[in-house]
Amino acid sequence: GVQSTPTFFINGLAIVGAQPLEAFKQIIDLELAGKIP
């Protein structure tokens, strides 16, 4: 479950804490490329 805020989920992958926009872009691009199991 969620233990802290902010927490975001991208296709089930938890992103915890304040992250820069570039971190989200990188994770989304990897996910779209099928490189995150």
* CA separation, residue 15 to residues 5, 12, 18, 34 (Å): 10, 9, 9, 18
Q: Give me the pLDDT at residue 17, please.
A: 93
Residues 11-21: tens digit of each pLDDT: 999 999 999 99
The pLDDT of residue 37 is above 90: no
Half-sphere exposure of 19 (CA within 13 A, CB side): 16
Strand partners, 10: 13
CB 16 within 8 A of CB 7: yes
Report the pLDDT averaged over residues 1-7. 84
Q: Which long-range contacts (CB under 8 A, 24 or more apart) does 22-29 make?
A: none
The pLDDT of residue 1 is above 80: no
Domain interval for residue 16: 1-37
Please give the tally of structural domains in the chain: 1
